[in-house]
């Protein structure tokens, strides 16, 4: 199984070239110039990670969603997500992150793994769709009982597609 890895949002690259086409009439030549522009994905995976609106401080008994993940593949593929290995872990699907302004502020986060299977390779564990899909969406949430303090926090999530 081949893993293709992504950590950023990919943009589109435009390829432009000119083509000349000639047609001959009996009495005169005609020259037609056209430009062809094709847009192609720069990679087989696009990745969107965005913060949800109106986040509040406090302690919540239920999962408190804070971010949205959307992954899109250019072909049917098993799509996987994981926390960046640079973040300290609670489990492979949950991580602790610390405030940027005050490093004593701590959040315990997880992403929803419902419908995903763990795919372990060496020291990495991705949570992967069970079958080939073109897109996958999930949320990042605060683990219930975690106190959310006012601060800015950085989360890093990696994404990959698995092709056969």
CATH of the domain at 101: 2.60.40.1570
pTM for the model stands at: 0.69
Residues 59, 120 share a domain: yes
Task: Indicate whether 82 and 137 sit together in one domain.
Answer: yes
What is the largest distance, in Å, between two alpha-carbon atoms of the chain?
85
Q: Is the pLDDT of residue 23 over 80?
A: no
Q: Are residues 50 and 90 in the same domain?
A: yes
For residue range 134-163, what is the model confidence (pLDDT) as tens digits?
A: 999 999 999 999 999 999 998 888 888 886
94 is in which domain, residue-wise? 2-10+43-163
* SS3 state at 118: strand
Same domain, 33 and 90: no
Helix or strand or coil: residue 145? coil
Q: By the 8 A CB rule, do 159 and 71 touch? A: yes
Total number of domains in the chain: 2
Looking at the structure, tell me whether residues 137 and 79 fall in a common domain: yes
Judged against a pLDDT cut of 50, whether residue 17 lies above it is answered with: no
Beta bridge partners of 51: 67
Q: Are residues 31 and 56 in the same domain?
A: no
From CA 37, how far away is CA 101, in angstroms rounded? 46
Instruction: Please indicate, yes or no, whether residues 77 and 139 belong to a single structural domain of this protein.
Output: yes
Give the pLDDT confidence of 94-112 residue by residue, as tens digits: 888 899 999 999 999 998 9
Q: How far is CA 120 from CA 14, 37, 128, 161, in A?
A: 36, 41, 10, 14
DSSP string for residues in 119-135: EEETTEEEEEESS-EEE
Question: Residues 50, 64: one domain?
Answer: yes
- Look at residue 7 in the predicted model and tell me its pLDDT: 46
Are residues 113 and 142 located together in one domain of the fold?
yes
Yes or no: say if 98 and 153 are a contact pair by the CB < 8 Å rule: yes
């Amino acid at each position: 199984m081949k893993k293709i890895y992504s950590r950023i949002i990919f943009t589109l690259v435009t390829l432009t070239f000119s083509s000349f086409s000639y047609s001959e009439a009996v009495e005169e030549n005609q020259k037609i110039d056209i430009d062809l522009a094709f847009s192609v994905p720069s990679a087989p995976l696009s990745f969107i990670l965005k913060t949800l609106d109106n986040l509040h401080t406090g302690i919540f008994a239920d999962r408190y969603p804070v971010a949205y993940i959307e992954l899109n593949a250019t072909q049917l593929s098993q799509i996987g997500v994981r926390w960046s290995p640079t973040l300290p872990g609670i489990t492979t699907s949950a991580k602790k992150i610390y405030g940027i302004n005050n490093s004593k502020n701590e959040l315990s986060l997880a992403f929803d793994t419902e419908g995903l299977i763990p795919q372990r390779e060496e020291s990495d564990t991705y949570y992967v769709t069970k079958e080939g899909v073109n897109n996958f969406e999930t949320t990042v949430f605060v683990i219930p009982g975690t106190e959310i303090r006012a601060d800015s926090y950085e989360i890093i999530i990696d994404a990959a597609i698995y092709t056969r």
